[in-house]
Amino acid sequence: MPKTKTGKYHRWITPEGLAQIENWSAKGCLDKEIAHNLGIALGTLYEWKIKHAEIAEAIKTGRAESIVAIENTAFKLATGTVEEQTIVKVRDAEGSERVEMRKRRLKPDTAMLIFMLKNRAGYSDNPNAKPTESAPTIILGVKPKAIDD
């Protein structure tokens, strides 16, 4: 009886395989790197994404997770944050060891703040630039002019 050829994708459309693909995507792997990890060519991965929606969805979900993590980090950089550090004191007044928690305030990063304003709030350095659709347009002190026929 002849053997039927099964594609490599059968191994990857299992819950465990899809979780692994999603994990690679969440860690920032590009399609080329995911294809390498799967042991296939990049073109094959593109075909799998078209033929098997669950593979495309796993990659999309993983990327969404990494984007959220990056946005959260960027927001913390832009606004400043409080970071806890653990400092071990060797001896206190009684001569015993203890662990003390200290907080350190990180200053906001001006460059990240400007980047976030431009990309998320429609801010522009150039007041004469055309407004984007996401930014509201407010025109003050303009009266409609009558048009003579």
| pLDDT tens string 8-66 | 888 899 999 999 999 999 999 999 999 999 999 999 999 999 999 999 999 999 999 99
Q: Can you give the pLDDT at residue 109?
A: 86
Tens digit of each residue's pLDDT (9 = 90 or more) over 99-120: 777 777 888 888 888 888 887 7
Cross-strand partners of 106? 81
The whole-model pTM stands at: 0.61
CB 64 within 8 A of CB 72: no
Q: Give the residue among 81, 78, 69 at the shortest CA–CA distance from 116.
A: 78
Tokens of 51: 């033929």
Element (H, E) at 44: helix 42-51
CB within 8 A of 48, min separation 6: which ones?
9, 12, 40, 55
